[in-house]
Amino acid sequence: MKSTRLLRLAALIVCAAIPTLATSASRKVKLSAAGKKALDQLVAQTQAENKLPGFALAVSSIDEQLYASAGGYKTFGVPSSGRVTPESVFWICSMTKLVTSIAGLQLIEQGKIRFDDLVTKYIPQFKEIVVLEGLSNPTGPQPFHNTSTVPTVGQLFNHSSGLTYWTKDAVPFYGLSSGYTFKQGPTREATTKAFFRQIQEDYPGIPLVFEPGAAFNYGYSSDVLGIVVEKATGISLAEYSKQHIFDPLGLKSSFRLNAETNRKLIDLNFRNTNGSVSPWDNRAGLIQRYPEEVYLALGGIGVYSTLPDYATLLRHLLKLEAGTKVSKPILKQRTVKTLFTPTLGESASASLIQTLQYVDPFTDASNYEDANWSTAFALATKDWPGRRRAGTGFSNMKLTLKPGSGWAGTYYLIDPTTGIAVVGGSQVVPFPDEVVIKFYNKAEEIVYANLE
Q: How would DSSP label each residue in 163-204? A: B-S-SS--SSTTPPPHHHHSPP-S-HHHHHHHHHHHHHTTSS
Look up the CATH number of the domain holding residue 415: 3.40.710.10
| pLDDT of 404 higher than 50 | no
Per-residue HEC secondary structure of 260-317 comes to HHHHHECCCEEECCCCCEEECCCCCCCCCCCCCCCCCCCCCCCCEECHHHHHHHHHHH
Whether 10 is in a domain gets the answer no
Q: How far apart are CA 256 and CA 243, in angstroms?
A: 14
- Cα angle, residue 385 at apex, residues 384 and 390 outer, rounded to 5°: 30
Whether 164 and 209 have beta carbons less than 8 Å apart is answered as: yes
| pLDDT of 16 higher than 70 | no
Residue 364: pLDDT band with limits 50, 70, 90: confident
pLDDT higher for 8 or 409?
409
379 pairs with which residues across the strands?
A: 372, 393
* Domain housing 355: 33-449
Whether 5 is in a domain gets the answer no
Residue 1: pLDDT band with limits 50, 70, 90: very low
Q: Residues 83-113: pLDDT tens digits?
A: 999 999 999 999 999 999 999 999 999 999 9
HSE-up (13 A, CA, CB side) for residue 133: 5
Whether 21 is in a domain gets the answer no
Number of domains making up the chain: 1
Q: How far apart are CA 310 and CA 331, in angstroms?
A: 16
Q: How many helices (H) and strands (E) does the chain have?
A: 14, 15
| pLDDT of 402 higher than 90 | no
- The amino acid that residue 239 corresponds to is E
Q: In the β-sheet with 206-208, what is the strand arrangement from edge to edge?
A: 144-146, 129-132, 206-208
- pLDDT at residue 359 in the model: 77
3-state secondary structure of 239: helix
The predicted model gives 44-55 an average pLDDT of 96
Whether 188 and 227 have beta carbons less than 8 Å apart is answered as: no
Nearest to 303 by CA among 99, 88, 450, 82: 99
Nearest to 104 by CA among 222, 243, 263, 266: 222
The predicted model gives 237-252 an average pLDDT of 98
The predicted model gives 174-196 an average pLDDT of 96
Whether 421 is in a domain gets the answer yes
| pLDDT of 277 higher than 50 | yes
- For 349, the enclosing helix (H) or strand (E) is helix 346-359
Whether 90 is in a domain gets the answer yes
Whether 72 is in a domain gets the answer yes
| pLDDT of 134 higher than 90 | no
Lowest mean pLDDT: which of 107-111, 225-229, 312-316, 366-370?
Answer: 366-370
The predicted model gives 301-314 an average pLDDT of 97
- pLDDT at residue 398 in the model: 55
- The amino acid that residue 271 corresponds to is R
Q: How far apart are CA 108 and CA 110, in angstroms?
A: 5
Whether 118 is in a domain gets the answer yes
Q: Residues 21-46: pLDDT tens digits?
A: 333 445 689 999 999 999 999 999 99
- pLDDT at residue 198 in the model: 97
Whether 20 is in a domain gets the answer no
| CA–CA distances in Å: residue 364 to residues 385, 403, 444 | 10, 19, 14
